[in-house]
Amino acid sequence: MKTEDFNYHLPEERIAQTPIEPRDHSRLLVWNRKEENLLHRKFYEIEEFLKPGDLLIINKTRVIPARLFARKPSGGKVEILLLKKRENDLWECLVGGKRVNAGLELSTEVDIKIKVIENLEGSERLIQFSGSIDPYLPDIGQMPLPPYIHTPLQDQGRYQTVFAKETGSAAAPTAGLHFTNGLMDRLTKKGVQFCQITLHVGLDTFAPVTEDDPEKHKIHTEWCEINKESANLINQTAKNGARIIAVGTTSVRTLETGARYARDGEVIGAYTGPTNIFILPGYEFKVVQAMITNFHLPKSSLIMLVSAFAGREKILDLYQNAIENEYRFYSFGDAMLIL
């Protein structure tokens, strides 16, 4: 298995620059693995493929408006992208600017100072705010859109899911962006259930795997949580013989992490803490029986994950079919339902 095995050519015009309105009017490519059946639908038609008793696992993380700007004592501008809060206003971040090193003090447009505490890998830094930056982020922060999106986002809320609650992500769990409150209400009336988990997404989720051998790739660590109530609901669904359907690769990684903590007779255990699970072809899924996902970057850990679920050659075939049918790709793009 080589990283190049997960490469494909995507014409630039297929990269979605803006979200579809309404959210649930994006397109939906449906692939049934058992029947080997391919269908093209709209996302709001997903209820056609869901049954009473099915459990949709949604990630309730909320994206931080994590891109902000500061000034050096010399007046030079520094771009800061907050990645992860450690403790007491101590943050891991990415910095853009020259000579931003440990010991440097920066000023912000509000009455809070920043001190660079430590140089980490590459452009990553550990910084200390002089007070809580959280209350100011909605006003001075910007949504950290992926680098392949070049069109400014008019409505910042469109990079949040309608069920976002727990602040902590540097990127959106994009498969969840297709859901509207109305669609969720219709599914609930049909007998489809929703189960909330949390995984705070790091920016490394977009990073391509650079090693020739993907098994040598150092996967990023993210914080996740499956509380007891959610674990009980998932286990009960499994006992009832209904399907556990992950909404997005973040939900997949959280569920399969929770499987490590299952007790006898369970498929999953409650868990709170870090996860660095890296799912490659050959992985045996313990919890997830179907998934909703967007179209992912070539050679990324995410296309490797969906390839583990549906087969590498099949995923590349489906991606090529989506390109030929002018689907929109990546964060603001269309979706797949893999059954």
Query: Which band of pLDDT confidence, cut at 50, 70 and 90, is reported for residue 273?
Result: very high
DSSP-derived pairing of the beta strands 290-294 and 244-247: parallel
Confidence of residue 146 (pLDDT cuts 50, 70, 90): confident
Distances (CA, A) of 296 to 6, 47, 113, 266, 306: 10, 24, 38, 31, 9
- pLDDT at residue 85, rounded to an integer: 85
Is the pLDDT at 79 greater than 80, yes or no? yes
How confident is residue 147, by pLDDT bands cut at 50, 70 and 90?
confident
Q: What is the mean pLDDT of the chain?
A: 95
Tell me, yes or no, whether 277 and 164 share the same domain.
Answer: yes
Average pLDDT over residues 249-265: 97
Helix pair 249-258, 301-310: axis angle to 10 deg: 70
331 belongs to a structural domain? yes
Same domain for 190 and 327, yes or no, is yes
Helices (H), the chain: 137-140, 181-190, 228-240, 249-258, 301-310, 312-324
CB atoms within 10 A of CB 241: 7
Instruction: Report the alpha-carbon distance of residue 290 to residue 309 in Å, rounded.
Output: 9
Using 50, 70 and 90 to split pLDDT, how confident is the model at 34? very high
303 and 188, same domain (yes or no)? yes
Which of 67-71, 139-143, 226-230: highest mean pLDDT? Answer: 226-230
Q: What does the pLDDT average to over 95-102? A: 91
CATH assignment at residue 111: 2.40.10.240
Share of the chain above pLDDT 70, in %: 99
Residue 204 shares a structural domain with residue 159: yes
Question: Does residue 206 have a pLDDT over 80?
Answer: no
Domain termination residue (choose one: 140, 169, 186): 140
What confidence score (pLDDT) does residue 327 get? 98
**Is residue 332 a part of any domain in this protein?**
yes
Question: 136 and 31 share a domain?
Answer: no
What is the dihedral sign for C-alpha 332, 163, 291, 40? negative
pLDDT of residue 86: 87
Task: Determine, yes or no, domain membership for 25.
Answer: yes
| Total domain count, the chain | 2
Q: Look at residue 319 in the predicted model and tell me its pLDDT.
A: 98
In a domain, 148, yes or no: no
Q: Work out the average pLDDT over 288-307.
A: 96
Residue 163 belongs to domain spanning: 3-63+154-338
pLDDT of 203 over the 80 cut = no
How many C-beta atoms surround the C-beta of residue 210 within 10 A? Answer: 11
Residue 87: the pLDDT is: 86
User: Strand runs (DSSP E) across 60-122, as ranges?
Assistant: 61-63, 67-71, 77-87, 90-96, 105-107, 113-119
14 and 110 fall within a common domain: no
Span of 42-56, 142-156, 244-258 with lowest mean pLDDT: 142-156
Confidence of residue 241 (pLDDT cuts 50, 70, 90): very high
- At 201, list the tokens: 């997404």
Q: 40-74: per-residue pLDDT in tens?
A: 999 999 999 999 999 999 999 999 998 999 999 99
Residues 231, 291, single domain; the answer is yes
Which of 140, 163, 178 is the endpoint of a domain? 140
